[in-house]
Amino acid sequence: MFRFHPCLIMAAALALSACSEAQKPETEQENKAPEGGPLEGYVTVDRLPMPSAPHLVEGRTVWAGTCQACHGLGEAGSPKITDKGAWAPRIAQGMDTLHEHALKGFIGPEGTMMPERGGNLDLSDKQIFAAVDYMVANSR
């Protein structure tokens, strides 16, 4: 049985309300993040490229089911996927730090919170690492 962190439930509700406002891109060109900036609106998994590496394919699935709620919109201070500016200082800390923050949770310097295991305590460490790696791959 899935157990969700209360913050994840709140973020999902916010994200779902944003879904009605987001428009799906009409062409493949619109699916690409603008140079130096994130995709506009709520980023859903169907707006991101399909990776070829199996590890990242697994990360994509986990991201769609758990992480998209916050990281698809950049809610509550979370870095929005495809936002290179928001991700750059986090990536600079190293993948070990990003993995640890996702596994154990993290409170940022401005009070932003990454819940332990993204609020989905049923995810394995491998799944968490894959989701983080997928976000980074789409945000460099």
Could you tell me the pTM of the whole model? 0.76
- What confidence tier does 36 reach under pLDDT thresholds 50, 70, 90? low
How open is the CA angle 40-80-38, to the nearest 5 degrees?
A: 35
Cα distance between residue 135 and residue 9, in whole Å: 20
The stretches of 1-140 forming alpha helices (DSSP H) are 6-19, 54-62, 68-71, 84-91, 95-104, 125-137
Spacing of C-alpha 20 from chain mean position: 19
Share of the chain above pLDDT 70, in %: 74
pLDDT score for 109: 86
CATH architecture of 6-19+40-137: Orthogonal Bundle (1.10)
pLDDT score for 69: 95
Q: 3-class secondary structure for 98-131?
A: HHHHHHHCEECCCCCEECHHHHECCCCHHHHHHH
> Measured in Å, how far apart are the chain's first and last C-alpha atoms?
34
Q: What is the pLDDT of residues 85-129, one digit of tens each?
A: 999 999 999 999 999 999 999 998 888 899 999 999 999 999 999
Q: Where are the domains of the chain?
A: 6-19+40-137
pLDDT for residue 20 is more than 50? no
